Amino acid sequence: MTRAVLAATLVLLLSAPAAHAAVPEFPQDLPGEATASAVRSDPDTWLVGAEPGAEAKAVAARFGARHSGLGNYVVERDQARGFAHALEARGLLLYSQANTVLKSKQAVPDDPLSVAPNNWRARLVSPATVPPPVTPESPLIALVDAAADPAHPEWVGSAFATIPGTPVTNSHGTATASVAAAPQNGVGILGVWPGARALNVPLATTPGVPEGGITCAASGEAIGKAVAAGAAVINMSYGSPSRCAAEWVQLYFALAKGVIPVAAAGNEFQDGNPLEFPASLPHVVTVAATTPDDRSASFSNANAAVDLSAPGVGIMTAVPPALDTDGVQDGYQIMDGTSFSAPMVSAALAWVRAARPDLTPDRVVQAVRLTARDIVSPDGQDRPGWDPLTGFGVLNIDAALTVAADKLPIQDPYEPNDNLVWVDGTAFGKPSTPIWQGGKSVQVDALLDKQEDPVDVYRIVIGGKKSATVKVIPRFGDPSLEVFTTEAVSVNDLDGRVAKSRKSGSKKTEQVTVRNNGSKKRSYFLVVKPQGSSRYQERQYSLRVR
């Protein structure tokens, strides 16, 4: 039903902005609660997140909490409740949750290893396509994983390295790195980008914790190290059905710095097909596994987060010889799992970043995911386009390198801005730069995606006794417009919403006028969301402020 144009003029109180409460979208669990008891976690520690800054550090010191990067703290379980309440009393609490256990996405239990010819690389890129020369400035692939073996003969003559100090206790880190970057040196296997700059960032393990001892805290800390090392792409071949706030914050900080995160979709399709994290977080490139005959692997998780696929069955990998379990300790072993599909895509993304520096990181992702080779569905019905089993299809590096830039979606600016917490300073310690502070009108052209980018938030500043007129003009699909004050804690906090415009239809411009009736300038947050029942995930729009 058509609605009249909405223009709301609002009189706003001069009260100071309220202190931030804990972020509703993040976990808010404390020891002893049922939700916390239901997940597998480190029995001795807890995770608490705070708005970054000196005040939070001072509170953390009182409770003996260890800082693990960008407002994330690890604290003894019996101190967690007091620490969280002390932060909450000061308006500094971001989240609190059990230090959940993550699982590596290695071989599928009880699934026999494939003995088919190991020709997976030829299915991704032509042998005649020459990768860019590897230089000290080449994009760095950081593989957050189990500690790898840098002394393996596979790495002779390569730029592969690992952050030292963590013992090599399983084969997973060496195997994933070799799939991505094993050099052309006459030894062993050939990675997707042979000899690429690759860094193994070991995940610290906790003795006595199941699933290899990987915790939520270890994941967040390792991602922070990858960012600090200058990663262009971060590969994560592990995950958990529980959302890890420490991981989430670090990944979004990485996104803000132009890093591309990649994660394995998971190997649990036959065990309930749960959503896995970090793979299911927005903006993470989620990779499923396919078989040698281009079908979805029987174990590969399927959901709306899957972006594309790569081979994940019968993959020859390099492993530490002492940990080679296939009966021949030659340092090579065939493995299955989305663990090995993900680093193929990570290497491809780094390759495209090097070969096409004209593309921004988000458009590099689009070049790789949208040019994937479409394959038939498992039932044999050829339904073209995206599907939840294989995404847009199987990685096709040649197509990603050659697709015309004008055939790709526009750059999506100001990411990550999926909620107020990423823009108002709560997560990153300082508010984002406002897109408008009065004066000349501005226009922002941007994208939405129901799964990968579900909300866009922008900060504007309106001077005292001034107003702003905001428009959202649909270019593809149907977006809505809302305006929030600094008192709001999320885009679902209706008490903090002061204006909205939701006209049904992809040709209807949304418009509001917001007035600051006080004498001092104030920040407001413009929120654009998808609406309507379109079968398309994507939206494109122009935001205008004057």
Tokens of 177: 């790195």
Cα torsion for 476, 445, 368, 236, to the nearest 10°?
A: -110
Q: What is the DSSP string of 5-69?
A: PP--------PPPPPP---TTS-B--TT-HHHHTS-EEEEEEEEEE-SSHHHHHHHHHTTPEE-S
Q: Please name which of 173, 152, 191, 142 lies closest in space to residue 311, comparing C-alpha atoms.
A: 191
Give yes or no for a cis peptide into 361 (omega within 30° of 0): no
**C-alpha pair distances (Å), 369 with each of 128, 244, 267, 294, 348:** 22, 25, 21, 16, 11
Residue 50's DSSP bridge partners are 93
Under 8 Å CB-to-CB from 232, ≥6 apart: which residues? 139, 140, 141, 258, 259, 260, 349, 350, 353, 361
Angle 138-139-143 from CA coordinates, rounded to 5°: 130
Q: Is the dihedral of CA 350, 455, 282, 49 positive or negative?
A: positive
Q: Is 489 exposed, middle or buried (0-12, 13-18, 19+ CB in 10 A)?
A: buried
The two tokens of residue 321 are 């010889």
Strand blocks (E) in 138-207:
140-145, 161-162, 198-202
Please report the beta strands in 293-369, taking only residues with DSSP state E, as ranges in sequence order.
Answer: 306-311, 315-318, 332-335
Number of alpha helices (DSSP H) and beta strands (DSSP E) in the chain: 9, 23
Active site annotation includes 467: no
CA atoms of 399 and 506, how far apart (whole Å): 31
495 catalytic residue (yes or no): no
Residue with tokens 């000899």: 195
**Dist CA 477 CA 532 (whole Å):** 8
The two structure tokens encoding residue 174: 């060496």
Nearest to 457 by CA among 426, 408, 490, 429: 490
The catalytic position among 29, 42, 145, 307 is: 145
Q: Which of 172, 237, 280, 478 is catalytic?
A: 172
For tokens 């902005």, what's the residue? 17
Give me the helices (H) in 194-337, please: 216-228, 245-256
Diameter over CA atoms, the chain = 78
Assigned token pair, 116: 């088919």
Q: Give bridge partners of residue 277 from the DSSP assignment.
A: 240
Q: In sequence order, what are the residues at sequence separation of 6 or more whose Cβ sits closer than 8 angstroms to the Cβ of residue 381?
A: none
Q: Is 145 a catalytic residue?
A: yes
Q: Which of 41, 242, 339, 341 is catalytic?
A: 339
Which helix H or strand E contains 343, and what residues bound it?
Answer: helix 338-355
**Residues annotated catalytic, as ranges:** 145, 172, 339
